[in-house]
Amino acid sequence: MSVESSATAPSPAFEKNDRRIINGWAFFDWANSAYALVITVAIFPPYFLGIAPDRVQIGGFAIRDETLIAWGISLAYLIIAAMSPILSGIADYSGKKKRFMRFFTILGSLACISLFFFRSPESLWIGLTGFILATVGFAGGIVFYNAYLPDIATEDRYDAVSAKGFIYGFIGSVILLIVNLFMVMQYEMLGFPDEASAVRWAFVSVGLWWLGFAQISFRRLPPDAPRPMPLGLLHKGYDEVAKAFRAVRKSSNTSLFLLTFFCYNAGVQAILFLASSFADKEMKMEKSKLIILVLVLQLVAILGAFLSSKLSEKRGNKTSLFVMLIIWTLICLLGYNVQTESEVFLLGGAIGLVMGGIQALSRSTYAKFLPENTPETTSFFSFYDVMDKVSTVFGTLVFGLVAQLFGGMRSSVLALSVLFLLSLAILAAVRVRRMPAPEPTS
């Protein structure tokens, strides 16, 4: 792969495996995971379904409300999938990872706060727009956050550092979720006129939490490298992702892993985004119970991320992924027939057990496939993130389409099991090892 010296000049010197830097990096997960958990998983979906009409007329079509929120997620991730190559190219060639992390943090947190003004069916557009922009902000920041991993840690620490980020995210989001649960359950004592008002203030608290704690990361992460902004910068991101794609394509092993990742991540993300919608729509669970369900899921996820890291140390990443994919498949099959709230809580615990583990291991496993000594980590991780976003688009589109065609979300959950079974079949052929370094070209 060709390397332009002006584009890939090293960042200011710093020690890898520095505890303070790694903790600062992990605090970004602490900050923005509150949005992923409290808004997208716990509070916003049931709030949206409670306000939106069962059928929303769009362009002459009657769209089911659960389909609309699934496709809203699809649109958000389609936007960020299209943008991320440009953004990663700018970050690679200008050395400004931190600047773009900060931009997306501000965008996402302010959009999250704007959800406070989503009060009725007439303001549905505020809810959808704010949710989509906040999701874009969340996903956009992750592009640059992930790209820091090979910069701040040596390869032997990838699994542990990656898991640490997720554990920080789980703990931070659980703390805020407990606060929000108290706000919703004790809204009268706190002076809110009704439960819906407490939920809207919870939206504000998430935005402030996200923006505030992210400042720890911005202070501790290595400074951006001062590099000139070359001409034709906007297309360089796509050029670099294309180079990364060509490097990946030369390794059938890496290609198979990415195909495996695409299949199972489509299912994982659809379930994580829409689990509370399922419990609300199909099981008619109260909002407070939905929050408690998500809290149980998140607490178990802390244990799951730790256990997956230990299992990967003992048995390797591939075995760990196999175990978790089998559990995901069973979750879908059992979810189709779930009948009681107790069964929902058991499934929530199972989801938590494999939720953080599979995300942390996916990121660290991909890092092991990167060519040795490559300086363009953002481009390779942008390619990974494009796969992540496109698979999320695919999974949520499938979920919404099946719900629209078959009139319910149970069929959607069953359809996702096919993706996990397919990923298991492909993973069997994958060997987890690093790609050889690409030969230099003129």
352: nearest Cα among 306, 297, 309 = 297
Token match 């992702």: residue? 241
Q: Is the pLDDT of residue 241 over 90?
A: no
Beta bridge partners of 56: 63
Per-chain mean pLDDT for the chain: 82
Q: What is the mean pLDDT of residues 139-151?
A: 82
Query: Which alpha helices (DSSP H) does 250-340 contain, by range?
Result: 252-283, 287-315, 317-336
Q: What is the mean pLDDT of residues 303-321?
A: 79
Whether pTM > 0.95 for this model: the answer is no
Q: What is the mean pLDDT of residues 122-143?
A: 89
Q: What is the mean pLDDT of residues 333-350?
A: 88
Position 230 confidence tier, pLDDT thresholds 50, 70, 90: low
- What confidence score (pLDDT) does residue 197 get? 93
Burial of 54 (0-12, 13-18, 19+ CB in 10 A): exposed
Cα angle: 336, vertex 338, 341; to 5 degrees:
145
The beta-strand segments (E) located in 367-421 are none
Position 371 confidence tier, pLDDT thresholds 50, 70, 90: low
Euclidean distance between CA atoms 320 and 331, whole angstroms? 17
Q: Which of these ranges, 160-169, 324-333, 390-399, has the smallest mean pLDDT? A: 160-169
DSSP string, 101-142: HHHHHHHHHHHHHHGGG--SGGGHHHHHHHHHHHHHHHHHHH
**Domain ranges for the chain:** 21-224+237-427
Question: In sequence order, what are the residues at sequence separation of 6 or more whose Cβ sits closer than 8 angstroms to the Cβ of residue 307?
Answer: 353, 357
Q: Is the pLDDT of residue 220 over 50?
A: yes
Angstrom CA distances, 14 to 21, 88, 227, 268, 298, stand at 9, 22, 17, 36, 34
165: nearest Cα among 30, 19, 272, 40 = 30
Q: Give the DSSP letter of residue 226.
A: -
Angstrom CA distances, 6 to 94, 230, 239, stand at 9, 9, 16
DSSP, collapsed to helix, strand or coil, labels residue 167 as helix
208: nearest Cα among 117, 142, 114, 144 = 114
Q: Is the pLDDT of residue 437 over 60?
A: no
Q: Are 134 and 35 in contact (CB under 8 A)?
A: yes
Euclidean distance between CA atoms 386 and 394, whole angstroms? 12
Residue 77 tokens, joined: 């991730």
Q: Is the pLDDT of residue 13 over 70?
A: no
Cα radius of gyration (the chain): 21
Q: Is the pLDDT of residue 164 over 80?
A: yes
Q: Is the pLDDT of residue 436 over 60?
A: no
Q: What is the mean pLDDT of residues 300-304?
A: 78
Homologous superfamily, domain 21-224+237-427: MFS general substrate transporter like domains (1.20.1250.20)
- What confidence score (pLDDT) does residue 375 get? 59
Residue-wise pLDDT for 33-86, tens only, equals 999 888 988 888 888 888 887 777 777 777 888 888 888 888 888 888 888 777
- What confidence score (pLDDT) does residue 5 get? 34
- What confidence score (pLDDT) does residue 214 get? 96
- What confidence score (pLDDT) does residue 1 get? 31
Position 349 confidence tier, pLDDT thresholds 50, 70, 90: confident
Q: Is the pLDDT of residue 320 over 60?
A: yes
Between 170 and 400, the more confident residue is 400
Residue 110 tokens, joined: 């302010």
Position 232 confidence tier, pLDDT thresholds 50, 70, 90: low
Q: Which of these ranges, 29-38, 269-278, 359-368, has the smallest mean pLDDT? A: 359-368
- What confidence score (pLDDT) does residue 329 get? 93
Between 399 and 298, the more confident residue is 399
Question: In sequence order, what are the residues at sequence separation of 6 or more whose Cβ sits closer than 8 angstroms to the Cβ of residue 310?
Answer: none
Question: In sequence order, what are the residues at sequence separation of 6 or more whose Cβ sits closer than 8 angstroms to the Cβ of residue 123?
Answer: 117
Buried residues in 310-333 as b, exposed as e (16+ CB within 10 A): ebbeeeebbebbbbbbebbbebbe
